[in-house]
Amino acid sequence: MLVLLEPDFAALSRQAARIVAGAVRSNPSVNLGLATGSTTLGMYAEIIRIYREGSLDFSDVTTFNLDEYLGIAPDHPQSFHFFMRENFFHHINIQPARTHIPDGMITGDYEEYCASYEQEIREAGGIDLQILGIGRNGHIGFNEPASSLASRTRLKVLTSETIEDNRKAFIPGEKIPECAITMGIGTIQDARRILILASGETKAEAVAQAIEGPITASVTASSLQLHPDVTFIIDEQAASRLKHKQYYRRVMEMTALLDEKPQR
């Protein structure tokens, strides 16, 4: 696990965008796993800026989003379909047929639908780079506390804490979704590389538990300690409760020095 400490949200966003842009440049047909939420907004804006400079081509990129609220139509302003279109897809040259987001309006056999989403990921060759945020209770995707660490894409009931966190995004009096379709922890773990972003004091305890705490289903992000290639990018506020910040900074400094040495 690599922990990158950035001074603020803007620097975090630039660093994350550089990593995603590098993945696209090195593999023009890369499969990206995408996340929504306020922490990703700066990253998407920075990727769009790089794209407009003419150095990125998304025409052969395939994307799979982590999750979607159940019962929310794609054109609803709080749907993740809407979020991705408005904040990313409409600003780059990605092919709509290559973008995949769970269908929140699905009815009937949820298990069959979720299995088909997993199958689409497998048929595409798996996810090369998975982007994540982290919830205040340490969840990734909508894998709430007590989720199985081997879980696959499925229908998940949201905690009261997550519902309350989401309330501010909806119109007063509007019904708040209580369930979502989400990639499972096992699905996320299958990605070849994982990038997780965290910003702000409200995420500090979750970040500390995910990076330095025990691996536990009570903090599903802690499962990332088991993955061979995970990078946390966090700002100073989100890093405020980490015990080993000085060591993470030393690793960053040494990595930069090693990268500067000429290859023989």
Catalytic residues, by residue number, are 67, 137, 139, 144
SS3 157: strand
Q: DSSP letter string over 2-41?
A: EEEEESSHHHHHHHHHHHHHHHHHH-TT-EEEE--SHHHH
Beta pairing class for 230-235 and 2-6 = parallel
Q: Are 191 and 111 in contact (CB under 8 A)?
A: no
Beta strands in 158-263 (DSSP E): 179-182, 193-198, 230-235
Question: How many other CB atoms are found less than 10 A from the CB of residue 243?
Answer: 9
User: Packing angle between helix 80-87 and helix 38-52, nearest 10 degrees?
Assistant: 30
Residue 240's nearest CA partner among 5, 1, 67, 47 is 5
